[in-house]
């Protein structure tokens, strides 16, 4: 004879199993947060070096820009703001924002034109 388990008991059993402690004593959810983004794949020393060189090159290009150009470009590229939003934040027109971002873009294109096969 099969015993039927009411849905509310099934839920509580599932909930209890999900709230189990991990082997090192942390809550299961804490373990997930602590290891989020950490997979089996690990960055090799060569990949790390390549990433750091690329970052250095990008920062070198940004260092050639004015403070206004750099700020507007980063608001656009990293924060995803629109030209109008950047204009509001910086207190300038959309045209000024566009010209700043375009100047930075041209500096990047000029810099990376020297690296055609990379």
> In which region does residue 102 sit, left (phi positive, over 0), alpha (psi from -120 to 50) or beta (all else)?
alpha
Look-up of token digits 């980063």: 74
pLDDT digits 0-9 by tens, 95-112: 999 999 999 999 999 988
pLDDT digits 0-9 by tens, 38-70: 555 677 888 889 989 989 989 999 999 999 999
The pLDDT value recorded for residue 106 is: 95
Which band of pLDDT confidence, cut at 50, 70 and 90, is reported for residue 76? very high
Q: Give how far the C-alpha of residue 95 lies from the chain's centroid of Cα atoms, to the nearest Å.
A: 28
Average pLDDT over the chain reads 78
The pLDDT value recorded for residue 95 is: 96
SS3 category, 21: strand
Q: What is the pTM of this model?
A: 0.59
Sequence spans of domains, the chain: 66-118
List, in order, residues 6 or more apart from 18 with CB less than 8 Å away: 28
């Amino acid at each position: 004879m099969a015993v039927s388990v009411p849905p509310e008991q099934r839920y509580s059993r599932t909930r209890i199993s999900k709230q189990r402690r991990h082997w090192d004593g942390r809550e299961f959810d804490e373990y997930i947060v602590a290891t989020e983004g950490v997979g089996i794949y690990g960055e090799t020393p060569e990949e790390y070096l390549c990433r750091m060189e690329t970052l250095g090159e990008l920062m070198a290009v940004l260092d050639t820009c004015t403070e206004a150009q750099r700020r507007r470009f980063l608001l656009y590229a990293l924060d995803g703001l629109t030209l109008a939003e950047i204009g509001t934040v910086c207190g300038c027109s959309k045209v000024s924002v566009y010209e700043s971002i375009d100047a930075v873009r041209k500096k990047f294109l000029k810099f990376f034109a020297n690296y055609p096969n990379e």
